[in-house]
């Protein structure tokens, strides 16, 4: 990548519709015909924005506003119904606690599983492994199956992977909220350290406005899939608070 103002993520009139059917049966029929009655929920509605290299952006909005859907579109977990999406760079995403994890594998095995999904070779993962395990700090549980982890422990492992793989784009969805105070502090420090180099781009979703302010310079306020405000983080938070 070249200059500092390179566009890393671009949404151009992106819409994501979910079809809601009355029953599973209707949903199944709906796969083959548009005539089956259904409602449409626009989780993301004609959304446009650009995020540049080095930006730290928080998506702010109530439950169901469309934040996670946007992150899922960016990471390719789901696809838009309409519009264009451009992503340039290696993404490391912490979407849901269990995303990319297998409960029957140990923590260590899951590190390999997830990093392989991200496109790393075995040798590369071997080099990353010690830093990930140290950061996750789950002790002997690293060789226990993931189903024996508490949700906080899963979050730690997920976070440890995300921040130790040197991504171009770091995407974090609500992951900090399950960790305890000590781990949150460690994560905050780590994200700050990562962000002090200005090459990495951060996209951050949280209901903690303090954390958003801590990490991000820019805030995008969403409501029902629509972008209502896009600008300086303090102003975004004021805008959001004024609507509640
Ligand atoms: N797989 C799905 N099928 C149908 N509707 C969905 C699906 N995923 C999300 N939605 C709907 O899309 C809308 C946006 O959901 P999304 O998960 O993006 O919200 P969010 O802003 O992340 O909310 P939260 O703060 O609760 O995490 C919601 O109305 C939700 O019910
Ligand atoms: Mg969400």
**Is the model's pLDDT at 3 over the cut of 90?**
no
Task: Supply the pLDDT for residue 89.
Answer: 87
Residues whose CB falls within 8 Å of the CB of residue 127, separated by 6 or more in sequence, listed in order: none
Greatest CA separation found in the chain?
55
Task: Supply the pLDDT for residue 184.
Answer: 81
Q: What mean pLDDT do residues 97-113 have?
A: 86
pLDDT per residue as tens digits for the range 75-100:
888 999 999 999 998 888 877 666 67
**Is the model's pLDDT at 230 over the cut of 90?**
yes
pLDDT per residue as tens digits for the range 28-63:
999 999 899 999 999 999 999 999 999 999 999 999
Mean pLDDT: which of 8-17, 92-101, 178-187 is highest?
Answer: 8-17
Domains and CATH numbers, the chain: 56-80+89-243 (3.40.50.300)
Give the per-residue SS3 of the chain: CCCCCCEEEEEEEEEEEEEECCCHHHHHHHCCCCCCCCEEEEEEEEEEEEEECCCEEEEECCCCCCHHHHHHHHHCCCCCCEEEEEECCCEEEECCCCCCCCCCCEHHHHHHHHHHHCCCCHHHHHHHHHHHHHHHCCHHHHHCEHHHCCHHHHHHHHHHHHHCCCCCEEEEECHHHHCCHHHHHHHHHHHHHHHHCCCCEEEEECCCHHHHHHHCCEEEEEECCEEEEEEEHHHHHHHHHHHC
Mean of all residue pLDDT scores within the chain? 90
Q: What mean pLDDT do residues 153-180 have?
A: 84
Atom number in ligand 1 closest to CA 69? 18
Task: Supply the pLDDT for residue 1.
Answer: 46
Ligand 1 pocket test: pick from 11, 18, 19, 171 the residue with the most ligand atoms within 8 Å of its Cβ. Answer: 18
Atom number in ligand 1 closest to CA 20? 4
Residue nearest to atom 1 of ligand 1 (CA): 18
Distance from C-alpha of 63 to C-alpha of 66, rounded to nearest angstrom: 8
Task: Supply the pLDDT for residue 41.
Answer: 96
Q: What mean pLDDT do residues 170-195 have?
A: 81
């Amino acid at each position: 990548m070249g200059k500092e103002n390179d566009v890393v993520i671009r949404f151009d009139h992106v819409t994501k519709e979910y079809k809601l059917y009355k029953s599973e049966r209707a949903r199944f029929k709906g796969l083959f015909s548009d005539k089956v009655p259904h409602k449409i929920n626009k989780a993301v509605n004609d959304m446009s924005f650009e995020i540049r290299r080095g930006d730290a952006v928080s998506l702010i909005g109530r439950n169901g506003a469309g934040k996670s859907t946007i992150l899922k579109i960016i990471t390719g977990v789901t696809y838009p119904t309409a519009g264009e999406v451009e992503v340039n760079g290696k993404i490391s995403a912490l979407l849901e606690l269990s995303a990319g994890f297998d409960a029957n594998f140990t923590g260590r095995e899951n590190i390999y599983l997830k990093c392989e999904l991200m496109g790393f070779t075995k040798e590369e993962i071997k080099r990353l492994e010690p830093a990930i395990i140290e950061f996750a700090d789950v002790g002997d549980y690293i060789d226990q199956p993931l189903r024996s982890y508490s949700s906080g422990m899963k979050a730690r492992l997920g976070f440890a992977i995300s921040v130790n793989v040197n991504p171009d784009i770091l995407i974090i969805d609500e992951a900090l909220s399950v960790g305890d105070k000590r781990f949150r502090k460690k994560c905050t420090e780590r994200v700050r350290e990562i962000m002090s180099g200005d090459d990495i781009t951060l996209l951050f979703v949280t209901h903690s406005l303090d954390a958003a302010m801590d990490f991000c310079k820019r805030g995008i306020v969403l409501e029902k899939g629509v972008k209502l405000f896009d600008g300086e983080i303090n102003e975004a938070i004021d805008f959001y608070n004024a609507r509640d």
